[in-house]
Amino acid sequence: MSSNIIAIVGRPNVGKSTLFNRLIGQRKAIMDNVSGVTRDRSYGHGQWIGKYYTVIDTGGYVHGSDDIFEAEINRQVELAMNEADVILFMVDVDAGLTGLDEEFANVLRRSKKPVFIVANKADTNARAHQMGEFYALGIGEEIFPVSSQNGSGTGELLDEVVKHFKDEGVEDPDAGIPKLAVLGRPNVGKSSFVNLLLGEERNIVTDQAGTTRDAIHSRYNAFGKEFIIVDTAGLRRKSKVSEDIEFYSVLRSVRALEDADVCIVMLDATRGIEAQDVNIITLAEKNRKGIVILVNKWDLVEKDTHSTKQFEEEILDRIAPIKYVPVIFTSVITKQRILKAVEKAMEVYDNKTKKIPTSKLNDLILPDIERYPPPAIKGKFVKIKYITQLPTHNPTFAFFCNLPQYIKEPYSRYLENCIRRHFDFEGVPINLVFRKK
């Protein structure tokens, strides 16, 4: 079974992300509170009359001068033609036919995939009638008037779209496959790293059944491991536009971070750890993501003056109190420890997803608690009776006790250390909760 892919293309402001959110059953776009830009996901899953699909909103954040648009049109359409089973070309009946729509049509004409013109903002019948002018574009199987905002017409559109699917699709084609995000400041070597993984192994699992052929989240098989790298599009394709690069790259990394299971945070060995690196790591920890730090460009470092030990201590110092994060010294250029980096990310994923049996947990942790029980508060003794790992997404341990409110931060930290001493949770934030029993 494969995943059926729908791609949405079109000029800015026609309503692509509004339709996207509707197709994945999510009414509200997530607004970025800093910038005021819509920062909704560009990749999501949906279902229509028993058929599962994946939607890609190909529209990037790029807006600006005309020469940028040309590149943007090509990027969107190329992505759609490569990845999609059905392409939705969105136009705006309210604004009418524009030059940019025509430019899109010119490129889309090469598509061997079915293209539907979606005439959006047809909120009323009167407006829907204005869609006639888009026949002049001379492409597309059919024109569908829709209102992404109120949902009208989207059912008819989907009825037609699903006819072009090969099968029922799968609900979540990526279930159980580690999602990695490669993060870090510009120029640390992120794209080189990703390209090395892709290029070396030439093993993008594109044409195999059951895989997602998505250039935004690419699924790979490198060194015998299967994983997804989120936001590869942003990594492999370097924007030629210098303005706003910093802004967009920060936005993209936040999104990639949210989508990932494990964040590979790359530093530049010649620069050491900087404030922005600390921010990324802290954000990953806050989002309960697995973390691996790569100190890249290790080939450029004079080994007598800087030992790995020193370097590692310096990093852990800066990110304190986080101290469970593995640090690996890599060189993408000499390919030093690249395999180790991937293996470590996989290990961290395993640590993040594993479940410790309750009996084992109690056998090992209860004696630690007996040896060093929680301090009495106002003459009351806290008794922890048993511990269990909850069936949550991130490792969470529930401690059942008589007076949960009396367990304070220092003791909670002691318990976390006990868990980490007995079990391998390297690279993974763990949560402790105290419940009344």
Closest Cα to residue 298, out of 271, 276, 274, 319?
Answer: 271
Site string for ligand GDP, 102-121 (x = CB under 6 A): ------------------xx
DSSP 3-state helix, strand, coil percentages of the chain (rounded to 5)?
40, 20, 40
Q: Is 190 in the site for ligand GDP (CB under 6 A)?
A: yes
Answer for which of 4, 5, 6, 15 binds ligand GDP (CB under 6 A) is 15
Q: Which tokens in the block code for residue 408?
A: 């304070």
Answer for which of 1, 34, 245, 300 binds ligand GDP (CB under 6 A) is 300
The piece of 284-292, 330-338, 346-354, 391-399 that touches ligand GDP (CB under 6 A) is 330-338
The full DSSP string for 42-91 is: SEEEEEETTEEEEEEE---S--SSHHHHHHHHHHHHHHHHHH-SEEEEEE
Answer for which of 2, 147, 253, 389 binds ligand GDP (CB under 6 A) is 147
Cβ atoms 306, 280 nearer than 8 A: no
The phi and psi torsions of 233 (rounded to 5 degrees) equal -55, -45
Q: Is 16 in the site for ligand GDP (CB under 6 A)?
A: yes
Q: Is 5 helix (H, G, I), strand (E, B) or coil?
A: strand
Q: Is 211 in the site for ligand GDP (CB under 6 A)?
A: no
Least distance to ligand GDP, CB of residue 368, Å: 42
Answer for which of 299, 343, 416, 424 binds ligand GDP (CB under 6 A) is 299
Cβ atoms 274, 185 nearer than 8 A: yes
Name the DSSP class of 178: P
Site string for ligand GDP, 229-268 (x = CB under 6 A): ----------------------------------------
The answer to whether 415 is a known ligand-binding residue is no
Size of the site for ligand GDP (CB under 6 A): 31
Least distance to ligand GDP, CB of residue 302, Å: 13
Q: Is 12 in the site for ligand GDP (CB under 6 A)?
A: yes
Virtual torsion, Cα 96, 97, 99, 104, nearest 10 deg = 120
Closest Cα to residue 134, out of 108, 177, 87, 102?
Answer: 102
Q: List interacting residues with ligand GDP (CB under 6 A).
A: 10, 12-18, 38, 59, 120-121, 123, 147-149, 184, 186-192, 296-297, 299-300, 331-333
